Structure 1
Amino acid sequence: MRTLPALLASLALGLGLLGAERVAAAAPATPIHFGAIGWESGALTTEVLRLIAELGYGYTTDTLPGSTVSMEVALARNDLQVIAEEWAGRSPAWVKAEQAGQVFALGDTVKNAEEGWWVPAYVIKGDAARGLPALAPDLRSVTDLKRYPQVFKDPEQPDKGRFLNSPSGWTSETVNSQKLKAYGLDGQYNNFRSGSGAALDAEVTSAIKLGKPVLFYYWSPTPLMGRYDLVRLEEPPYDAAAWATLTDPRNAAPRGSRSLPAKLSIGVSAAFRQQYPDLVAVFEKVDLPIDVLNKTLADMSSTRQPAREAAKAFLKGHPQVWKAWLPAEQAARVEAAL
Structure 2
Amino acid sequence: MRTTKNKFFPFSPIKSIVLVFLAAAIVFAAVVAKQPQATVRLHDDQIEVQQLTNAIAEYILEKGYNYKVERVESTIKEIRTHLINGDIDLTLELWLENNLVWYQNSMDQGIIKDLGKLYSGGKQYWIVSRWYADSHNIRTIFDMKNHWQDFLDPDDPSKGIFFNCIYGWTCRDINKVKLHAYGLDRYYNTVSPVSPESLKSIYRNAGKMRIPVFGYYWEPNSIMLTDNWKILEEPPYSREIWKKVITSAEDPSATTLQQACAYNDTGAHKVASRNFYKKHPELIEMFSKMTINMDHFNAIFLRNNKEKRTPSSFRNFALEYLESHPDQWRSWVPGEIADRIEKNLIKDGHTATGD
TM bucket (normalised to shorter chain) is 0.7 to 0.9
Match status 1:188 vs 2:195: no
Q: 1:35 and 1:257, CA in 2 relative to 1: closer, same or farther beyond 3 A?
A: same
State the 1:218 CA deviation. 0.6
Structure 1 unaligned runs (5+)? 4-13, 126-133
Match status 1:253 vs 2:261: no
Match status 1:274 vs 2:281: no
- Length-normalised TM-score, structure 2: 0.82
Q: Please show how residues 44-83 of structure 1 align to structure 2 within 5 Å.
A: 44-83=52-91
CA contact (8 A) 1:41 1:297 kept: no
Q: Which of the numbers 319, 322, 331 marks the counterpart of 1:315?
A: 322
Length, aligned pairs only: 320
Whole-angstrom CA distance in 1 between matches of 2:226 and 2:238: 31
State the 1:257 CA deviation. 1.6
Q: Please show how residues 135-174 of structure 1 align to structure 2 within 5 Å.
A: 136-137=136-137, 139-174=138-173
In structure 2, what is the equivalent of residue 6 of structure 1? none
In structure 2, what is the equivalent of residue 337 of structure 1? 344
What is the DSSP-based 3-state SS (H/G/I as helix, E as strand, rest coil) of the residue aligned with 1:311? helix
Structure 2 unaligned runs (5+)? 1-7, 9-21, 346-355
CA contact (8 A) 1:174 1:246 kept: no
Whole-angstrom CA distance in 2 between matches of 1:277 and 1:283: 10
Q: Which of the numbers 124, 128, 144 marks the counterpart of 2:133?
A: 124
- Tell me which amino acid in the other structure corresponds to 1:276: H
Q: Please show how residues 31-50 of structure 1 align to structure 2 within 5 Å.
A: 31-50=39-58
In structure 2, what is the equivalent of residue 111 of structure 1? 120
State the 1:332 CA deviation. 1.6
Whole-angstrom CA distance in 2 between matches of 1:279 and 1:61: 13
CA contact (8 A) 2:92 2:118 kept: no
CA contact (8 A) 1:174 1:249 kept: no
Whole-angstrom CA distance in 1 between matches of 2:104 and 2:207: 37
CA contact (8 A) 2:37 2:66 kept: no
- Length-normalised TM-score, structure 1: 0.85
* Identity fraction in percent: 27
State the 1:296 CA deviation. 1.6
In structure 1, what is the equivalent of residue 177 of structure 2? 178
Whole-angstrom CA distance in 1 between matches of 2:223 and 2:197: 12
Q: Which of the numbers 36, 43, 47 marks the counterpart of 1:28?
A: 36
Whole-angstrom CA distance in 2 between matches of 1:51 and 1:41: 16
State the 1:19 CA deviation. 4.9
